[in-house]
Structure 1
Amino acid sequence: MSTALPSAPAARLDVDLTPMKLVIVGHVDHGKSTLIGRLLHDTGSLPEGKVEAVRAMSERRGMPMEWAFVLDALQAERDQGITIDTTQIFFKTARRPYVIIDAPGHKEFLKNMVSGAASADAAILVVDAKDGVQEQTRRHGYILHLLGLDRVVVAVNKMDLVGHDEARFRQVADDVRHYLAGMNIVPAHILPVSARHGDGLAQVSDRMPWFEGPTLLQALDGIEAKPLPVELPLRFPIQDVYKFDERRILAGRIESGRLSVGDTLLFSPTNAAARVRSIEAWAVDGPVMSASAGQSIGITLDDQLFVERGHVASHRIDPPVETNVFRARIFWLGRAPLEVGRRYKLKLATMEHTVEVQAIERVIDVADLSERPADRIERNEVGEIILRARAKLALDPFVDNPRLGRFVLIDGYDMAGGGLVSMDGFPNQRSRGEPTSQNITAVEHRVTTDARWQANGHRSGVLWLTGLSGAGKSTLALELEQALFRKGWQAYVLDGDNIRFGLSADLGFAPEDRAENIRRVGEVAALFARAGVLVITAFISPYREDRDRARAVAPDLFHEVYVKADLEVCETRDPKGLYKKARKGEIAEFTGISAPYESPVSPELEIDTGALSLAESIERLLGYVEANFGMNGRE
């Protein structure tokens, strides 16, 4: 027996006309469809005659009133007794309208569930009071985390099957709360309900007088909406470019923010800029002076820039990140496993690029959130990976702007995975190191580099030693410097720690600071090399992009040496005690522990200090130097 619970006073909940999108998730047969069907009935949202049709259908099958038939529109679903597609349903309360996305719970249909949940603002997680937390419950819970959904209401359903027992509800609630806490999700409410009988949905039941919390509808009305997309920085992905008369119209949908006629827009990743001359809209009388998130528009510019599909327009302030490498949390749905080295098509907004799986950092067991290393991610597994593209991409970390922070991977013609963008440990590569001064002119030296080589008796260059902390870079560099000095060579070591006492004393260890540090060192090393000195650098230099930039300063003089040692070997050495501090959380962004290291792809020389002794390593390094920098037989 249920009794009506008066709605909360209107003065306490502001009316919001923006629909809140809800995704309903949970293990198969835990009663999601029944909950939705009864919820629609109790809010008066069903079409006339629908209840009678469902009752007649249930009677023909010899079943009690089956509210799930409200949603199971496909005959295949009725025959199998499971939901196999996502369905959108509309209802409203006194506070706001809602769009419910009913997502399938059966393991085989998780692909549809991901596509449905991707557009949701909040979630209802349905758990059977009798069965408790099951495998699919855990998997769906992690998908909510994967897709960034932290507004969650848990409905412990089928309380009638456990005699409306308070102890059983508390036990299931504790299990759910503990599991979600492992993903930093704190549910807004955990509610006991019986969807078949309407208990706890729009009404409170006297069968559970021990529960003093809200009904499901009141709990949903109490969820605060996320910031509207219009309040986020402008993101206008270009969908197409049209030519009408003399006009070139850039068409697309504004994903976030707003723009106006006269605004200066920055187009990523080309970094070209122009002002908005006009805004073109369809079926609108009169000129349009501004547009905001959610609107599909066209714009013309005051300058004929090269712009194509996939470029993203923004304001100069708060542009998207530009990068060719990023981290991602991904749920894999492909028939073939995701593997290191495999290439896939990435789709993000209107952008499409081929990306390569550079690394699989971990696979996460959704049953207990334990992590394990792996070289592949199988179907229906969750993992954290690093993706790399050949070109720079314009995107946002999901936590900053979800509109450009979600993507899918396509394998062949099939959607094989969905994920979230993370830039943790990686720098923004947008326009670093470009001169800001305008009135400068390069000065040519009168002494050539060849003349310096002849005077010194050896060639100069940059011997760039890269590797993890503890791999032996500084040790090898200093030993080599001493050996060359004894031979009469002009050689000098630029060491990472020493540089940070002076040239880079103003920099920290955030990804952008690391990138700037290596940029400075690359420029200084090139100056030394052009002066005739053989420069030996000893820097972790964890990012390939930064090492490539250092090479580009003096490409004919640059030699990359990978000082290789496994992380376990480096931690065993730990000459400065840094790994111990990093493991304790005392050092943030420490390479190899909490920040990435990207190994060289094709270094000029590789020295495995984990397998070679110091003497053997120096012998190989010195032999390389003599072979590549010696002149006229003079060593």
Structure 2
Amino acid sequence: MSEVSEAKVRLAAVNTNPASYRDLLRIVIVGHVDHGKSTLVGRMFHDTGSLPDGKYESIKAMCERRGVPFEWAFLMDALQAERDQGITIDTSQIWFKTEARDYTIIDAPGHKEFLKNMITGAAQSDAALLIIDAAEGVREQSRRHGYLLHLLGIRQVAVAVNKMDLINYEKDQFDLIEQEYRDYLTSIGVTPTFVIPVSARQGDNIVNQTGAMPWYKGPTIVKALDSFLPAASPVDRPLRFPVQDVYKFDHRRIIAGRIEEGRLAVGDELVFSPSNKTARVKSIEYWSTVPGKQAPTEGVAGESIGITLDEQIFVERGELVSHAENPPIETDVFRARIFWLGHEPLVKGKSYRIKLGTLEAPVTVQSIESIVDTSDLSNSSSHQVERNQVAEIVIRARRMLALDEFTKAPKSGRFVLIDKYDIAGGGIISMEGYADQRDLITSRSTNITRVEHGITNEARAFRNGHKGGVLWFTGLSGAGKSTLAVALEKKLFEKGYNVFVLDGDNVRHGLNANLSFSPEDRAENIRRVGEVSALFARAGMIAITSFISPYRSDRDRARAAAEADFHEIYVKADVATCEARDPKGLYKKARAGEIKDFTGISAPYEEPESAELTVDTAITPIDEAVEKLVNYVEMKFKV
């Protein structure tokens, strides 16, 4: 049943009899093929009286007509293909109830070929019941399913060790499975609340305690599920309203979509991201309204609505609407943990399309940080991700994206990648090591007019004997940026150039003394330096900047500020070379954990894609590198 259908049923119940409202919890059932998921659910439905009248009898009669033994799984397996093959192919969503609450049970396929369906089911769930065969024990697929639950943010997990009757209800075997799987789940950040020995076929510990396992003192499956907590109401979260479309009716422009989280009301000031346009809600439009009934003044999570604004601004499908005080992140690069399901491997450098809410945009896999082996959690490196592998990657877009970190906003912190026309992978978003670029691209100044100088750039160049410009040195700490910058400044000064070095440490003593080393403040540090160095260039001077400036987007902004006067100089040296030099002892501190987010160790460095000049200090002596730089300046700046 869809979320919309569920919402209608719940709303109808409340409107008819408010006292009859009960909690609803969505539970996904996962496990290795043939470990007994459908059997367990079928038995649970029967033993709690949740089956429709006559369902059990009709299935039993069908088995008799076919001459096959009755299976509890037949109560769940609705597709003929599933009965013939003996496996669950699609996710089945059905209602289930206990004395405590109502449930939507999502029976997800466990077969390796149908993992995409399993992920779809798990993504809709508040908690999980994971099935393990007592006779077979913990399998690779069991670990993979556990990891996927972790990947999708499901933290309430009960484990049912099924088919205990096949091992004569032996406690020792159960204890071994429990310890092995608890250790695995704990290692990936999932703490199973319960591990329960059961026999779905015999009904042991499903609804009622069993005499077959007197050594087990914990709850039954039903009691365990009843102890789980429903997810926090999405209505209470910050507003996230993806724009589905914009319609024109008479003189109105109606912005339509589904409120995923939060609420909005007439009069609210909204921010549209990533365009950063703002406007107030003039009215809320519903598709089905009762004639004569007053128009609604509020919309909440789960509702599909339209809104009109107090001013005509251009917005389009894919924008993410929020309130100004809690906007989403804006960035063109982020980290992701992804599960790949494509028929072809995910490849570094290849372009795909990302789907974030209602937005689709081209992106490129900038790097594959590691491949995660879900069986033992070991990491390995590769230039591609194979089908059914989990990987940590960095994704770069050609435009700004509005998104959230998964841990803070699960709905807008998930995405899928499309390869050609197929959904080939899904993942969750992390901004670890990367900055929210919203403040860097938002202009808050008004009534500003640029002063026009009475001296042209050509006149300054004629007076100085050279053009102004920015030599932007970028590279890892220890690559030799400051050494080269100071040596180049001295050589150029001796040749009559007006030149000045802006160095990271010096700038942070004054202009940027109020900035920390967080990703956002590091980005702001570079933004300010980019603007100042551009002013130097317009004054006819050569500004040499010596900054790690690890993010391409920051360097792109500096280039935009100086325009044609910007020259990116990549001072290249690998991490091993820089760490061997370690002139300030920073690598040693970073390895010891004393410096957080240290570039090249615990924070990313994005190499230039098309620098005007590259100087590899790992293989080039300082004197030779300086000479190369002087020659470049005289070729590009001399008039």
> Are 2:239 and 1:234 equivalent residues in the alignment?
yes
Contact 1:15/1:94 (8 A) holds in 2: no
Cα deviations across residues 205-235 of structure 1 (Å, max 9, x unaligned)? 1211222111111111111222211111111
Structure 1 residue 18: Cα displacement? 4.2
2:39 pairs with 1:44: no
1:622 has 2:630 as partner: yes
Question: Where do residues 7-18 of structure 1 align in structure 2 (5 Å cutoff)?
Answer: 17-18=22-23
- Bigger CA drift: 455-464 or 439-448? 439-448
Residue of structure 1 aligned with 2:417, choices 409, 414, 429? 409
Alignment-derived partner of residue 11 in structure 2: none
Which position in structure 1 is the counterpart of 2:376?
368
CA deviation map 1:338-359 (0-9, x unaligned): 0012111211211111111111
Matching residue within 221, 224, 232 for 2:229:
224
Match of 1:5 in 2: none
Partner Cα distance (2:147, 2:402) in 1:
27
Q: Please provide the CA RMSD for this pair.
A: 1.8
1:583 partner amino acid: R
SS of aligned partner of 1:37: helix
Question: Aligned letter for 1:483?
Answer: K
Q: Does the 8 A contact of 1:54 with 1:67 survive in 2?
A: no
Tell me which residue corresponds to 1:346: 354
| Residue aligned with 1:442, SS | coil
Instruction: Name the structure 1 match of 2:216.
Output: 211
1:73 to 47, 72, 78: 78
Q: 1:437-468, CA deviations, whole angstroms, 9 ceiling, x for partnerless residues? A: 44544333334333332333222211001111
Q: 2:302 aligns with which of 283, 288, 294?
A: 294
| Among candidates 147, 156, 163, match of residue 151 of structure 1 | 156
2:204 is matched with: 199
Corresponding position: 1:541 with 2:549: yes
Structure 2 Cα separation of the partners of residues 587 and 449 of structure 1: 43
Deviation sequence 1:385-433 (CA, Å, 0-9, x none): 1111112111111111111111111112211001111111111111426
Q: Letter of the aligned partner of 2:575 in structure 1? A: L
CA contact (8 A) 2:24 2:230 kept: no
Change (3 A) 1:616 1:56: farther
2: distance between equivalents of 1:568 and 1:15? Answer: 66
Is 1:357 the counterpart of 2:365? The answer is yes
Instruction: Kindly indicate whether residue 127 of structure 2 is the aligned counterpart of residue 141 of structure 1.
Output: no
Cα offset for 1:582?
Answer: 2.0
Question: What residue is the counterpart of 2:7 in the other structure?
Answer: none
One-letter code of the match for 2:164? Answer: M
Mapping 1:554-565, distance limit 5 Å: 554-565=562-573
Structure-2 residue corresponding to 1:6: none
- Correspondence for 2:134: 129
CA contact (8 A) 2:30 2:110 kept: yes
- Cα distance in 2 for residues equivalent to 1:281 and 1:532: 60
Contact 1:155 1:192 in 2 (8 A): yes
Residue in structure 2 matching 1:337, options 342, 345, 366? 345
**Offset of residue 613 of structure 1:** 2.6
Assess, with a 3 A threshold, how the Cα gap between structure 1 residues 15 and 521 changes in structure 2: closer, same or farther: farther
Query: What residue is the counterpart of 1:420 in the other structure?
Result: 428
Identity %: 61
Query: In 2, Cα distance between the equivalents of 1:576 and 1:160?
Result: 66
Q: Given the alignment, which residue of 141, 166, 177 partners 1:172?
A: 177
Q: In structure 2, give the amino acid aligned to 1:292.
A: V
1:556-595 alpha-carbon deviations (Å, 9 max, x no partner): 2110011122223222322222223222322211112222
Give distance in 2, aligned partners of 1:181 and 1:439: 57
CA distance in 2, matches of 1:161, 1:148: 33
Does the 8 Å contact 1:258/1:292 carry over to 2?
yes
Aligned residues: 618
Give yes or no for contact 2:533–2:562 (8 Å, CA) kept in 1: no
Asked if 1 retains the 8 angstrom alpha-carbon contact of 2:164 and 2:199, the reply is yes
1:4 corresponds in structure 2 to: none
Q: TM-score, normalised by structure 2?
A: 0.93
2:84 equivalent to 1:84: no
Post-superposition offset of 1:435: 5.0
Determine helix, strand or coil for the equivalent of 2:528: helix
Return closer, same or farther for 1:245/1:26 CA change in 2, 3 Å cut-off. same
Deviation at 1:161, TM superposition (A): 1.7
AA aligned opposite 2:25 = M
Shift of residue 291 of structure 1? 1.1
1:573 paired to 2:581: yes
- After superposition, the Cα gap between the structure-2 partners of 1:615 and 1:261, relative to the gap in structure 1 and judged at 3 Å, is same
Mapped to 1, the partners of 2:381 and 2:277 lie a distance apart of 42
CA change 1:55–1:376 in 2 (3 A) is: same
Matching residue of 2:592: 584
Query: Could you tell me which of 472, 493, 515 is aligned with 2:501?
Result: 493
My pick for the range that moved more, 229-238 or 469-478, is: 469-478
Deviations 1:230-259 (A, max 9, x none): 111111111111222222211111000001
* Alignment partner of 1:469 out of 467, 477, 490: 477
Query: What SS class does the counterpart of residue 411 from structure 2 fall into?
Result: helix
- Give the partner amino acid of 1:310: G
Aligned residue identity for 1:159: M
1:610 to 618, 631, 635: 618
Structure 1 221/254 Cα, relative in aligned 2: closer, same or farther at 3 Å? same
Contact kept, 8 Å, 1:15 with 1:96, in 2: the verdict is no
Q: Secondary structure at the match of 2:201?
A: helix
1:26 corresponds to: 31
SS in structure 1 at match of 2:563: coil
The whole-number CA distance in structure 2 between the counterparts of 1:251 and 1:18 is 30
1:17, 1:597 → 2: CA distance? 51
Which amino acid in the other structure matches residue 603 of structure 1?
Answer: A
Contact 1:15–1:95 (Cα < 8 Å) also in 2: no
Which residue type is aligned with residue 511 of structure 2?
A: L
Query: Alpha carbons of 1:435 and 1:376: their partners in 2 closer, same or farther (altered >3 Å)?
Result: closer
Report the counterpart of residue 316 of structure 1 in structure 2: 324
2:609 to 598, 601, 606: 601
Distance 2:35 2:197 in 1: 13
Indicate yes or no: 2:543 matched with 1:521. Answer: no
Equivalent pair of 1:83/1:104 in contact (CA under 8 Å): yes
Structure 1 portions without partners, runs of 5+: 1-13
Q: How does 1:273-288 map to 2 (within 5 A)?
A: 273-285=278-290, 286=293, 287-288=295-296
Per-residue Cα deviation, 1:25-62 (whole angstroms, up to 9, x for no partner): 11111111111111111121112222223334555676
Q: What is residue 7 of structure 1 aligned with on the other side?
A: none
**TM-score, normalization by structure 1:** 0.94
Report the alpha carbon displacement of residue 282 of structure 1 after superposing the two structures with TM.
Answer: 2.8
After alignment, is 253-262 or 576-585 more displaced?
576-585
Does residue 444 of structure 1 match 2:449?
Answer: no
Letter in 1 for 2:231: K
Summarize deviations over 1:484-515 as a string: whole Å, max 9, x none: 22323222211112222222121111111011
Shift of 1:321: 1.2
Instruction: Check 1:423–1:16 CA distance in 2 against 1; reply closer, same or farther (3 A cut).
Output: farther
Q: How much does 1:619 deviate?
A: 2.5
CA–CA separation in structure 2 for the residues paired with 1:16 and 1:527? 65
Q: Which of the residues 102, 107, 122 maps onto 1:117?
A: 122
